[in-house]
């Protein structure tokens, strides 16, 4: 399974096949900021690709439409800014920056609920 690395926290975790990065983070019990919990609506989960761009699968229509309609103008046209609730990846090279990301305490790694 692909792995991603998150800065500045420095944490790494596995992302399942077909799973989005934010969804994987929640599954591991990490805190990945969101308000809509994966509906491509609130834009809170946005993240910047800092390395391994080729490991990120291209954005699909739903993500492109949501970013165009709802993302802050400052990030709207930056191709390295992606929605983590729609960002899928391959291989182990993807490095993302996400302020507010917090790795799970070992005891709470059972999942978001």
Partner 1 sequence: MTVTDPRRTGDIEAALAHGPNGPEVNAKVPHHMDGWLRVPAERYHSREFFELEKEKLWPHVWQMAAREEEIPNPGDFVEYEIVGQSLLIVRQHDGSVKALHNACRHRATELGSGCGRFPGGQIVCPFHGWRWKIDGSISHVFGREGFAEETVRPEDIALREAKCDTWGGHVWVNLDLDAPPLLEALFPAANILQRNGVQRMRAKWWKETILNCNWKLAQEAFFEGWHVKQTHPQLYTYKDGPDNETNLQNTVYTPFVNGHGRFQSGDAKEGYGGKPDFLQAARLNWAGQDAMTLERDITVFESVAGDMDTSDPAYVAKAFDALYKFWEGAGIPAPDRTPEVLKMWGGDIHMFPNYLMLPMYANALCYRVRPYNDDPDWCRFEVWSLTTYPEKEERGRLELSGRFDKDDADHWGLIPRQDFANLERMQRGIKNRSLTEIRLSEKWEVTIANMHQELDRRLAARS
Q: Are 108 and 34 in contact (CB under 8 A)?
A: no
* DSSP labels, 7-35: ETTTEEEE--TT--HHHHHHHHT-B---S
Q: Which of residues 53-92 bind partner 1 (CB under 8 A)?
A: 85
For partner 1, which residue of 5, 37, 59, 92 counts as binding (CB under 8 A)? 37
Nearer CB in complex with partner 1: 26/46: 26
For partner 1, which residue of 3, 27, 48, 102 counts as binding (CB under 8 A)? 27
Termini Cα distance of the chain: 23
82: left (phi over 0), alpha (psi -120 to 50) or beta: beta
Smallest distance, Å, CB 34 to partner 1?
7
Nearer CB in complex with partner 1: 105/113: 113
Check binding of 41 to partner 1 (CB under 8 A): yes
For partner 1, which residue of 1, 12, 14, 35 counts as binding (CB under 8 A)? 35
Using alpha carbons, select from 15, 55, 50, 51 the residue that is nearest to residue 32.
15
Q: Which residues bind partner 1 (CB under 8 A)?
A: 20, 22-23, 26-27, 34-39, 41, 85, 111-113
């Amino acid at each position: 399974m692909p792995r991603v690395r998150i800065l500045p926290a420095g944490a790494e975790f596995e992302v399942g096949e077909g799973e989005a990065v934010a969804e994987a983070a929640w599954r591991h019990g990490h805190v990945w900021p969101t308000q809509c919990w994966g509906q491509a609506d609130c834009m809170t989960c946005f993240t910047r690709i800092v390395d391994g761009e080729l490991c990120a699968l291209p954005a699909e229509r739903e993500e492109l439409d949501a970013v165009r309609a709802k993302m802050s103008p400052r990030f709207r046209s930056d191709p390295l800014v992606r929605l983590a609730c729609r960002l899928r990846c391959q291989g182990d090279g993807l490095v993302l920056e996400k302020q507010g990301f917090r790795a799970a305490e070992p005891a709470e790694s059972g999942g978001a609920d």
